[in-house]
Structure 1
Amino acid sequence: MSDASGNPKTIWGLMDKKHKQMFGVTLTDRIRDQQMQLLKAHNRK
């Protein structure tokens, strides 16, 4: 699904650049936290 300009028809496509950057930062932070937790859990074994 994409509109005439080729952008996906999602909330992501409707968000402006500033919001995408803010969302991207929180997203990568969350992923990094999950990876750290997985590493800690793995190292405990």
Structure 2
Amino acid sequence: AIMGVAFSWIMALACAAPPLFGWSRYIPEGMQCSCGIDYYT
């Protein structure tokens, strides 16, 4: 169970960290009710 929790934390950090370092950014998607990675800039 500890490995599963650790894997979840590592994946969450891998998704959340790049914008903090200047890689891409998050923008509103679709109906402006959720955010996703800006693939176009």
Q: TM class, shorter-chain normalised?
A: 0.3 to 0.5
Q: Which has the higher strand share?
A: 2
Which protein, 1 or 2, shows the higher relative CO under an 8 Å CA cutoff with sep ≥ 6? 2
Given the two structures, how large is their TM-score scaled by the length of structure 1?
A: 0.43
Of Structure 1 and Structure 2, the greater helix share is in: 1
